[in-house]
Chains A and B, each alone.
Chain A
Amino acid sequence: MLERQSRLRMPLAGILIIVVGALTIGPVLMLVIGSFSKGIGAIGAFTTDKYVAAYTDPTLPKTLLNTVIFTLGAACFSTILGGLLAYLSVRTDIPFSGLFRVLPIVPMMIPHVLFAAAWIALLNPTNGMLNLFLRNLFGLSSGPFNIYSLGGMIFLEGMLDLPVTYLVISPAMYSFDTTLEEASRVSGASNLYTLRRVTLPILKPAFLATFTLAIIRTLAAFAIPSMVGMPGRIHILTTHIYRIISVGWSPDYGRAAALGLIVLAASIILVYLYRHLISEGSQYVTVTGKGYRPTVVELGRARYPLFILCIVLFCFLVVIPLATLIYMSFLPYSMVPSARAVSMMNLRNWHTVLRNSVIVRALKNSVFLSIAGATLGIVLSLFVAYVVVKVKSKGSALLESLSFLSFSFPGMIIGVGFMWFLVRTPLYATIWGLLVAYVGTYLPYGVRPLRSAFMQIDEELEESARVFGASFLRALNDIIVPLLAPGVVSAWILMACMFIRELSVSVVLSRPGTEVLTVEIMKLANDGLWGQVAALGIIMIGLSTALVIVASLLRIPLSHSEQ
């Protein structure tokens, strides 16, 4: 049986390397070739013109500067926020600390385009509702806030990356050996001095890793830079590239590729740095004592003020944007809540959106892409994860690297790579092309959770079932499937939700006929149709919530067989 398995496994690994390689290295190769080609129709005709054109662009220095400020600013902001929330929820006696372990993750439900739309509606300089309100209140002539600024972009992007930074930093807080702090107190140091000299320095590697990950995320960010930055004429690399391929009458994919490669290179370097930072060698390892439960830091008088601060933050993240969207979806134009506003509420935005045939098509496309894409992605991830965990060979190591590599790829850039790739195939401008690009770009998000699910299944569990007389298929059905099912279902939900809200790949590849929800929302926002943006956005949030609910209902019978 061992022989039969390895005979089966060897070609499986080979096929997977080809498929995953085509999906991850393929677009990168095409990006490189494309950057040296005369045009998308003249691929392979060697030229360095595109590099010259891309890097001598007089607006590039300003764009690079903006990119650096935006990326570092948002990464700093989200790391500090994530660190603070993780510290408060894990280490202190803040009220309802259990609640705070869930709250930072909730914003993942709100797509970035909608988050941006809600805050624009509140804080844009001409008719942002909060601005109007403050202007009336204090008799100002112009609004105190301008969201269309680098500060605004950093504020929004930083909040959107909070779930990620929180999830990365909180394990470090959990495993922190509190006797290190106690030793400092006993040595004569105050709480604050201890924080500065002991706690923070020891957590430094974890903070650095979180910061690096946040930089990777913001470098690839597109929703906030395009919706908030572009109206304020603040361009960063992703939006700069987007303009090259979308503005004017001849999109230049070669120049886009030439520029995209530096973003890609930066991301790959950062991912390897991140990987190094989270490896065991770079974290501080200490002898841990047996037994004593970690002490809780007493906040004393700061307890309730900090609690209120957290609640305010949660309002900023979830409550305010959601309430704004719901409110706006019933109004003809944005206005400060008042009796008059209430009297003008109607369902017109909803009707308009649902009668628009393009939007209805986008809805259908997005649902299809989400369900088919997640299914395809998870099936592929299952095979990859299986080979990576259960087959120990050079091929499986290569496969792991391949599937990890694309984790760093900014969707926007990889979209350009797929463009060069798909244009040579009949898939171009079809929904299948988008499907392939989605699966290729987001494969790591399927492989990583399934990999850990497979790792939890000990070989001996399967073997003991065989020893006790179960056939291979019976063992698979009785042991492997029930143990794996919860992991598969949650990975599927995660992927399906990501595909419903996918923007950065779609914005490059979406064509008339293959519209998707987020791109249509962005177009409506560009036209200033905020009411319709809100209505469509709520439909979108409803869809992903329904997806989660249906999938968790499916999960119940599956998890029963677990026991």
Chain B
Amino acid sequence: MQGMVSVKNLVKTFASKDETVTALDNVTLATPANRILTLLGPSGCGKTTLLRCIAGLESPVSGEISIGGEVVWSKEQGISLPPERRGIGMVFQSYAIWPHMTVFGNVAYPLEIRRTPKQEIRERVRKILDLVKLSGFENRLATKLSGGQQQRVALARALVAEPKVILFDEPLSNLDAKLRESTRQELRDFLTELAISAIYVTHDQVEALTISDHIAIMRGGVIVEQGTPQDIYLRSNNPFVVDFIGRANFLDATIKGYKDQHHAIVSCALGDIVCSAPSDLVIGTKVTIYTRPESFEVAPPSSVPTENEFEGTVTSLLFAGEAHEAEILVGGARILAKLKFHIPLKKGEKVRLHVDREWCRALNPGEEA
């Protein structure tokens, strides 16, 4: 598959005093053009290393990287372009705003290097500052701005020379929670408007889900799963991915039979329920199924029991503002359910819950969380 940025069989190791750490273990990845791809994973999973290899700030051990169809690094062909010749833009975690330059100076810098005529520089910087809503800040010292504004200076600087791809290294992690939310929205708007190719690194799952068109989950130097945010959050069968993103109730279960190709009947602590499962599992196979806390609904008390309904006892109740977080004991298992705040619940009471077969999924057997 040929993407905007293609990485093939990339290996990167770091030698410390007495051991060699493999940061990237044979990574292959293709990013879609004009879309935002997020590399998501816990710290130490290799996501930043991968980004820095693409930028040319780290040298891989083997493999190949190409940007926009041009090979920028290849062990076999002996190609190694320095960062300045890769035609990229980058926004750093610390913004890396040059403290000795004004906002204009920072944003104009990539154009000055490209020997753009003065008049054109002024015009393009004005336009891009307009876009990031920093008009009128041209002559301010960049480091005297607020965190959010600095972040936008960094973005303007990365965009101004119209790079083939723009790289983000945890750009929001230095902002406080509230500002992070609004900046996330802004950033998403900018990038969608410009239809630019971007690779975005973060360890924050909410950030990844909201900002990306596409997510690649990394773990231990390997990409474990790729897909749209919806695929990743709602339809993953990978135990690590399910555990890493959001919260989930895991239950041991046994396959009893199949309803159709994608849905199996399993017996578990909730009773016999229908869940989406990999097809062709032998009857009697032990699997783990999971449900997201927000996928439960309270069944109306008078209704006729339907598929995937079960009764449990509320053992603890936490009011979390927008919802109740209830712990419910069912058949020896404890389940966390996020239930609508207007439903009256009391500790010790019985409650009947329903979960849709789509939001109850069996994990791939044999893989570990």
A residues touching B (Cβ–Cβ < 8 Å)? 177, 179-180, 182-191, 193, 197-198, 201-202, 204, 284-292, 295
Do the beta carbons of B84 and A189 come within 8 Å of each other? yes
Contact flags (1/0) for B73-105 with A, using CB distance below 8 Å? 000000000111110111011111111100000
Determine which of A190, A198, A285, A289 lies in contact with B174 in the assembled complex, contact meaning CB atoms within 8 Å: A289
Question: Could you tell me which residues of chain B, from 45 to 96, have a CB within 8 Å of some CB in chain A?
Answer: 48, 55-57, 82-86, 88-90, 92-96
| Sample of 20 more A-B contacts, CB < 8 Å, known A187-B113, A287-B150, A289-B170 | A179-B96, A180-B99, A182-B96, A183-B90, A185-B57, A186-B84, A186-B90, A187-B161, A188-B113, A189-B84, A189-B109, A190-B82, A198-B98, A201-B98, A202-B98, A285-B99, A286-B97, A287-B174, A289-B92, A289-B93
Contacts of A185 in B (CB 8 A): 56-57, 82-84
Determine which of B85, B88, B94 lies in contact with A177 in the assembled complex, contact meaning CB atoms within 8 Å: B94
Contact flags (1/0) for B243-284 with A, using CB distance below 8 Å? 000000000000000000000000000000000000000000
- B42 at interface, CB cutoff 8 A: no
Determine which of A180, A197, A204, A284 lies in contact with B96 in the assembled complex, contact meaning CB atoms within 8 Å: A180
Do the beta carbons of B99 and A284 come within 8 Å of each other? yes
Do the beta carbons of A286 and B143 come within 8 Å of each other? yes
Contacts of A182 in B (CB 8 A): 55, 57, 83, 90, 92, 96
**What's the Cα separation between A299 and B100 when bound, in Å?**
26
Contacts of A287 in B (CB 8 A): 94-95, 97, 143, 147, 150, 174
Determine which of B97, B110, B154 lies in contact with A188 in the assembled complex, contact meaning CB atoms within 8 Å: B110
Do the beta carbons of B143 and A284 come within 8 Å of each other? yes
**What's the Cα separation between A516 and B95 when bound, in Å?**
58
Contacts of A291 in B (CB 8 A): 43, 93
Nearest first, the 5 A-B pairs at minimum CB distance are A289-B94, A284-B99, A183-B96, A289-B93, A187-B110
Which residue on A lies nearest to B92, using beta carbons? A179
Q: List 20 A-B contacts (CB under 8 A).
A: A179-B93, A182-B90, A183-B92, A183-B96, A183-B98, A185-B56, A185-B84, A186-B88, A186-B90, A189-B84, A190-B82, A285-B99, A286-B96, A286-B97, A287-B147, A289-B92, A289-B94, A289-B174, A291-B43, A291-B93
**What's the Cα separation between A36 and B95 when bound, in Å?**
60
Do the beta carbons of B55 and A186 come within 8 Å of each other? yes
Determine which of A180, A189, A284, A295 lies in contact with B113 in the assembled complex, contact meaning CB atoms within 8 Å: A189
**What's the Cα separation between A28 and B161 when bound, in Å?**
61
Q: How many residues of B contact A (CB 8 A)?
A: 37
Which residue on B lies nearest to A283, using beta carbons? B99
**What's the Cα separation between A434 and B352 when bound, in Å?**
95
In the complex, the number of residue pairs spanning A and B with C-beta atoms less than 8 Å apart equals 97
Residue of B85, B95, B173 with most chain A CB atoms under a 10 A cut-off: B95
**What's the Cα separation between A123 and B98 when bound, in Å?**
47
CB distance from A298 to the nearest CB of B (A): 9
B residues touching A (Cβ–Cβ < 8 Å)? 43, 48, 55-57, 82-86, 88-90, 92-100, 109-110, 113-114, 143, 147, 150, 154, 157-158, 161, 167, 170, 173-174
Contacts of B158 in A (CB 8 A): 186
Q: A187-B113, A187-B157 are in contact. Are A180 and B98 (CB under 8 A)?
A: yes
**What's the Cα separation between A178 and B113 when bound, in Å?**
20
**What's the Cα separation between A179 and B88 when bound, in Å?**
15
Contacts of B161 in A (CB 8 A): 187-188
Contacts of A292 in B (CB 8 A): 48, 93
Q: A184-B109, A198-B98, A292-B48 are in contact. Are A285 and B84 (CB under 8 A)?
A: no
Q: A198-B98, A287-B147 are in contact. Are A188 and B84 (CB under 8 A)?
A: yes
Q: A188-B161, A201-B100 are in contact. Are A179 and B94 (CB under 8 A)?
A: yes
Contacts of B99 in A (CB 8 A): 180, 202, 284-286
**What's the Cα separation between A291 and B173 when bound, in Å?**
11
Do the beta carbons of A204 and B92 come within 8 Å of each other? no
Contacts of B167 in A (CB 8 A): 186
Contacts of B114 in A (CB 8 A): 188
Do the beta carbons of A186 and B89 come within 8 Å of each other? yes
Do the beta carbons of A284 and B100 come within 8 Å of each other? yes
Contacts of A198 in B (CB 8 A): 98
CB distance from A186 to the nearest CB of B (A): 4
Which residue on B lies nearest to A193, using beta carbons? B113
CB distance from A25 to the nearest CB of B (A): 39
Which residue on A lies nearest to B109, using beta carbons? A187
Which residue on A lies nearest to B49, using beta carbons? A292
Contacts of B154 in A (CB 8 A): 183
CB distance from A472 to the nearest CB of B (A): 45
Residue of B82, B86, B96 with most chain A CB atoms under a 10 A cut-off: B96
CB distance from A190 to the nearest CB of B (A): 6
Contacts of B86 in A (CB 8 A): 186
Which residue on A lies nearest to B86, using beta carbons? A186
CB distance from A32 to the nearest CB of B (A): 42
**What's the Cα separation between A292 and B170 when bound, in Å?**
11
Which residue on B lies nearest to A189, using beta carbons? B113
**What's the Cα separation between A191 and B154 when bound, in Å?**
20
Residue of A188, A288, A290 with most chain B CB atoms under a 10 A cut-off: A188
**What's the Cα separation between A418 and B85 when bound, in Å?**
65
**What's the Cα separation between A295 and B52 when bound, in Å?**
11
Which residue on B lies nearest to A180, using beta carbons? B96
Contacts of A186 in B (CB 8 A): 55-57, 83-84, 86, 88-90, 158, 167
CB distance from B41 to the nearest CB of A (A): 14
CB distance from B148 to the nearest CB of A (A): 12
Which residue on B lies nearest to A179, using beta carbons? B96
**What's the Cα separation between A177 and B143 when bound, in Å?**
14
Residue of B84, B95, B147 with most chain A CB atoms under a 10 A cut-off: B84
Contacts of A184 in B (CB 8 A): 98, 109
CB distance from A292 to the nearest CB of B (A): 7
Which residue on B lies nearest to A295, using beta carbons? B57
**What's the Cα separation between A11 and B190 when bound, in Å?**
67
Do the beta carbons of B100 and A204 come within 8 Å of each other? yes
Contacts of B48 in A (CB 8 A): 292
CB distance from B104 to the nearest CB of A (A): 14
**What's the Cα separation between A185 and B87 when bound, in Å?**
11
Contacts of B150 in A (CB 8 A): 287
**What's the Cα separation between A187 and B85 when bound, in Å?**
9
**What's the Cα separation between A93 and B110 when bound, in Å?**
28
Which residue on A lies nearest to B14, using beta carbons? A293
